[in-house]
A = this chain, B = another copy of it.
C-alpha cells in the first residue's frame, strides 16, 4: 500500500490528502511545525515556496530515500510579474539540489485546489501533470492520482518543472485577471 505524508494543511494540502485517501493510500496529514515523524514513502510539501526551506531544515534527514513532491508556484507575489527561481531552472530543481538523497517530483502546481477536490475542470477530468527523474516515484504518485479518479500524466524529466511552473504562473495571472475561474484553469484534453 502506498503511504503518503502531506505537510501543510491549507487548501492544497487538504485537497491532495483527499485524493490520496480516495486513491487508496495510507494518508498522514501534518501541519507545519509538527514534530510527528513522517510515515509516508511519498512526502508532499503542500506549502508555499518561501516555507519550503524551513521544512527541509526540520525534516531533511527524514526525507532521505523518500519521494518528495514539490507543488509550489514560486511567484514573486509582490509584483506578480516574475518567478523567484532562476529562469533556466525551477523550484523543483532548487529543492532537488537541497535534497540529494530524495527523489524530487513536481506535481499539482498546475491544478487549482478546487479542481483537485472536484476532479473536473469544466467538463474535462482534472489532469495532474507529474515531472521527475525517478520513474518509480512518478509511477507511484500517478497510480494514486488515477485510482482517485483523476487523470494523471507523466510530463517528463524534472527539467520540465520549468515549463510546469511557467504554466502554473500563467494560470495564476489569468485567474487574477478573471480570464479563468479559480475552480477551473487549463484542462488538458485527450
CB of B179 within 8 A of CB of A189, answer no
Selected contact of A124 from candidates B86, B157, B167, B187, CB within 8 Å? B187
Contact flag A173-B187 (CB < 8 Å), given A163-B166, A166-B163: no
Selected contact of A81 from candidates B159, B170, B187, CB within 8 Å? B159
A103 at the interface (CB under 8 A from B): no
A162 at the interface (CB under 8 A from B): yes
CB distance from A89 to the nearest CB of B (A): 8
CB of A186 within 8 A of CB of B187, answer yes
- Chain A window 16-35, contacts with chain B (Cβ cutoff 8 Å), 1 for yes, 0 for no: 00000000000000000000
**Sample (23) of A-B pairs whose CB atoms are under 8 Å apart:** A81-B159, A86-B87, A87-B87, A88-B88, A122-B189, A122-B190, A153-B174, A153-B179, A155-B174, A156-B177, A160-B170, A160-B173, A162-B166, A163-B167, A166-B166, A166-B167, A167-B170, A174-B188, A180-B189, A184-B189, A185-B188, A186-B187, A186-B189
Bin chain A's interface residue count.
35 or more
| Binding site secondary structure of chain A | mixed
A121 at the interface (CB under 8 A from B): yes
A169 at the interface (CB under 8 A from B): yes
- Identity of the chain B residue whose Cβ is nearest the Cβ of A187 in the assembled complex: B187
- Chain A window 127-167, contacts with chain B (Cβ cutoff 8 Å), 1 for yes, 0 for no: 00000000000000000000000000111110110111011
Docked CA distance A179–B138 (Å): 15
CB of B187 within 8 A of CB of A181, answer no
